[in-house]
Structure formats: C-alpha cells, structure tokens
Amino acid sequence: MNFYHITIATKPHPILDNIINKITKNKECIYVLGANENRNIGWNDKANFGVKLKEVHDFIFNSNIQNEDIVLFTDAYDVIYAGNHVDIVKRFINMNSPIVFGCETTCNPDPDKANMYTNKNVKFPYLNSGMFIGIVGALRECMKNYVYEDKHDDQRFWTQKFFEYPKLFTLDYENQLFLNTYGIDIEDIKWNKHQIEYENKNPMIVHVNGPDKKDLNRFL
C-alpha cells in the first residue's frame, strides 16, 4: 500500500506555498496537479471546478496507482495543513470506511438535497469536497464513468456519489481529519502554528471554504 497526497493548483498561491513548506518540513511529499492548465479556477472564475474532477480522475487511474493505495485530496488555495501523513492514515484506517469526506454546516451547491441527508443531529451534516481521503479502488468505482466537462461542480459530483454508493462513504462528523469553517465562529478555532484545536478535537487539516477567504489570515 502506498499513500499519495494530491492537490490541484493551476496558478501559484501563497497558501499552496504554506502547505508545501509544512509538508517539506515533515519530510513528506505532495503531488501538485493541474499546472498545465495555466488558468484561474474557482469562485471568481465562473466556478469552473471540472478541472478538479479531471485531475483526480486521471491521477487515480494512472497505471502506477494500485487499488489498495490511499489518496488524500486537499484544496490548494484555502487549506491549512496542521497534521502529518502518518497520523492522517492512522485516523483514516480507524474510521473503517473506504472513503471519508469532510463535512460542513450548509448544503451546497444544491440546498434542496438537504433532506436527503439522514444524519441531521450533528453540527456538520453535509458533504464538502474540499478535503477527502480514500482507498483507490473505491474512488475508481465512483469515477469509472466520469467524462470531463469544465463546467462540472466537484461538490455536486461527489454529493451524488455519496448517495449513490452509501457503503463506500462516510463523512468526518467528528472532525478527526477535516474541519470546514464556513458557518462556524472562526474565533472558536485555536491554532498555535503546529496544531488545530476545535471543541476539544484536533483535526489534521482546516478548509476555509466558501467564496470569502479573509479568515485565512488567522492561520498565516
């Protein structure tokens, strides 16, 4: 079993530099995909998130990647990496699910799907696609018929797969790995440059999700 940490960045970004610096200090490795696109993607660029799906698809279907391998995906421009790969893999394995996604307080991009989620008695009931980890074989099953379109929304795609393959997915309701900040009080997050603490939990990665990124400054 091999472990791969991937992200997608079509342009340089100081947050990506911060992630790479942390990973380098840990003597770890991250694969930065998408540089050949040479264009902006995201909320300010027509939300053209299809490239994220394309790059993940092409990576996991590479012939050098095996079904038993583990892939961690994190966004590149709005994520704070506060863990290490060894502990991330340990926590993932202990969660006993082929695929684990971060989750958030709001149901986007399709609020009408909120009633399809069954676990409502939690603070973060809804899937967020900015951070996930999974066994390659399970990810391949979800993406086996994927056909790229630039206008695709990655969160809509993965939400659909979450409902289509319920035995393959779980959400990180307890923030063991991932914390998405939209909809919570950013002041409740404690950060000492080495560790994140939120409600007596220590998530490995924080995602300042949504179009407003001003709260990223708190972690830099």
What pLDDT digit, counting tens, does each position of 3-13 carry?
999 999 988 88
Domain boundaries, the chain: 3-219
What local confidence, expressed as pLDDT, does residue 101 receive? 98
**Arch. (CATH architecture) of 3-219:** Alpha-Beta Complex (3.90)
Q: Which range (47-51, 54-58, 90-94, 103-107) has the least confidence?
A: 47-51
What local confidence, expressed as pLDDT, does residue 214 receive? 81
Mean pLDDT across the stretch 139-155?
A: 94
- pLDDT range class, residue 36, cuts 50, 70, 90: confident
What local confidence, expressed as pLDDT, does residue 41 receive? 64
What local confidence, expressed as pLDDT, does residue 43 receive? 52
What local confidence, expressed as pLDDT, does residue 21 receive? 95
Mean pLDDT across the stretch 172-201?
A: 94
Maximum Cα interatomic distance, the chain, rounded to a whole number of Å: 45
The pTM of this model reads 0.94
Other CB atoms within 10 Å distance of the CB of residue 165: 14
Separation CA 143–CA 80 (nearest Å)? 27
CA distances from 37 to 11, 19, 51, 54, 125 (A): 8, 20, 8, 11, 33
Tokens of 69: 């391998």
What local confidence, expressed as pLDDT, does residue 150 receive? 86
What pLDDT digit, counting tens, does each position of 108-120 carry?
999 999 999 999 8
- pLDDT range class, residue 47, cuts 50, 70, 90: low
Q: Is the pLDDT of residue 213 over 90?
A: no
Mean pLDDT across the stretch 156-178?
A: 97
